[in-house]
Chains A and B, each alone.
Chain A
Amino acid sequence: MKKSNMTYMESVHRDGKYWGIGVGILLLLLPLIVSLFFGAMPQWDALLGGLIATAPMYWAVGIVEIFTYVPMLGAGGTYLSFITGNISNLKLPCALDAMERAGVKATEEEGEVISTISIATSSIVTTFIIILGVILIVPLQPILEAPVLKPAFDMILPALFGGLAVVFISKNAKLSVAPILLMLALFIFVPALNQSTVGIMVPVGVVFTVVVARILYKKGVL
């Protein structure tokens, strides 16, 4: 298909695929390139040990995350976010806030465009802040590691989702009761659920809320 005959969405998918494959190969080759530069092979037993201890869990979570986050991020947002990361703590809240304020729906092309703009901006700003930080790491280190500031950085997720929750719960009050009650009960009474396992609970919350929404919709409550 010629470019001029493609819809915007089709071209986003095509470009996203090529960029994704290109950057993906580059990232996966990097350890090899560094190996060659220093003439150092990995320690095979430590590599195997490290992979066995890390990869199965994060691959499982990663696959579930694709199905959870792709519909929310939109196409362009997905292709960027799954390269630059920090999805739940930065990119997705940023996109949600942007679509909400612009009054566009994620299911429409307007939503796709606004979501892409906000996520791309957020990625660019993050990259520059980290570059600046790396350049200034010597003078910045004592400030960034100051014990007095540590609680602020530790509490970024509660602070972020407190604000976001107000917006979305106030607009979807009926639908939010059941998932919030379920998640409160689970997190309060199941000790294994904490900051490191919240990622696994996101898909649980999403599927549960969609099922509740379907029931309420069929009953005409929503």
Chain B
Amino acid sequence: MEFSVNHPILFVIVGLVIAVVLAQSVYFLVRAVKRAKALGIASQTVKKTISSAAVFTIAPAVAILVGVVALSKSLGIALPWLRLSVIGSLSYETIAANNTLTAAGMQAGSTVTDPSVFVTVFWVMTVSIAAGLVLVPFVTKKIQGGMMKMGMKDKKWGEIFNNAMFLGMISAFLGYVFCDVAGVVKGQTAGLIPVCVMAVAAVVMAVLGLLSQKLKIRWLTDYALPLSLVAGMASAIPFTAWLA
């Protein structure tokens, strides 16, 4: 079969795999919704969880789509479509592709025309990120069981432990927001852009939270996070023009 990075057969294969991945999500969604009912969680709560998760996902998903476009220049559309629909990220896939293209003596960014180079990139992208894929089916029950046991032994500590994990993750990302501010002393103000964006998102979130409490507008809380996310992202445009 004559090879091209956008060969129809690639779309068929990728489409089938994505259908399977989608089926898994639907399966777990249906089971969890049923279980929520059995546990007596209000159907209103379930509906709100679904609608706000869907709204929240839009902006990050469009950002992922930007990644598909970026990678499609050298790899066609089908492979980036698959890779960014399953475990991995734009930065990981780009690094994996570039490492392989370099090893194959190709320039990053030029369209792959040799099928053997294409499958080589495919192999490296798949295998290098497979730790979670291979291990999660076998270790999750153990880890999760340990957490549940701890929560039962000392309920208060279980909760604090969980909050501490969340805060630990959030603090790492807050630290990252400030990673380039040291450049300001040398006159490089671009490092302030993420700080300003974060501040805008934080202020919008706080204001929406207060508004919904004071004015009793429930739906504001449901969409506060996506609204603050989009406000922060939009503010990046003027901040970048000003500070970069």
Contacts and interface: CB of A to CB of B under 8 A. Distances in A.
Judge: A and B partners, yes or no. Answer: yes
Nearest to A111: B162
Interface string A169-202: 1111001100110111011110101111010011
Interface in B113-154: 114-124, 126-141, 143-144, 147-148, 150-151
A12 to B, nearest CB: 7
Nearest to A159: B232
Given A117-B36, A162-B200, A35 B21 contact: no
Contacts of B103: 45-50, 53
A46 B119 CA distance: 11
B198 A158 contact: yes
Interface in B1-20: 1, 3, 7, 9-10, 13, 17-18, 20
Given A89-B89, A158-B195, A183-B171, A121 B29 contact: yes
Contacts, number: 553
A33 B169 CA distance: 38
Contacts of A51: 123-124, 127-128
Contacts of A171: 163
Given A41-B116, A163-B204, A184-B175, A82 B85 contact: no
Interface residues of B, number: 158
Contacts of A151: 193, 236-237, 239-241, 244
A123 B52 CA distance: 13
A129 B144 contact: no
B219 to A, nearest CB: 11
Interface in B199-238: 199-202, 204-206, 209, 221-222, 224-225, 228-237
Contacts of A96: 166
Given A38-B3, A209-B168, A86 B225 contact: no
Q: Is the interface of B mostly helix, strand, loop or mixed?
A: helix
Contact of A30 (B126, B129, B181, B233): B126
A71 B205 contact: no
A207 B171 CA distance: 12
Given A51-B124, A127-B25, 11 more contacts: A26-B20, A42-B116, A42-B119, A80-B28, A85-B86, A113-B36, A127-B22, A159-B201, A163-B201, A168-B163, A179-B167
Contact of A46 (B25, B26, B120): B120
A6 to B, nearest CB: 12
B233 A49 contact: no
A83 B138 contact: no
B107 interface: no
Interface string B52-71: 11101111111111101100
Nearest to B41: A110
A210 B161 contact: yes
Contact of A187 (B89, B160, B179): B179
Interface string B39-56: 101000110111011101
A166 interface: yes
B202 A163 contact: yes
7 contacts: A39-B115, A79-B28, A101-B49, A134-B77, A141-B69, A175-B164, A205-B168
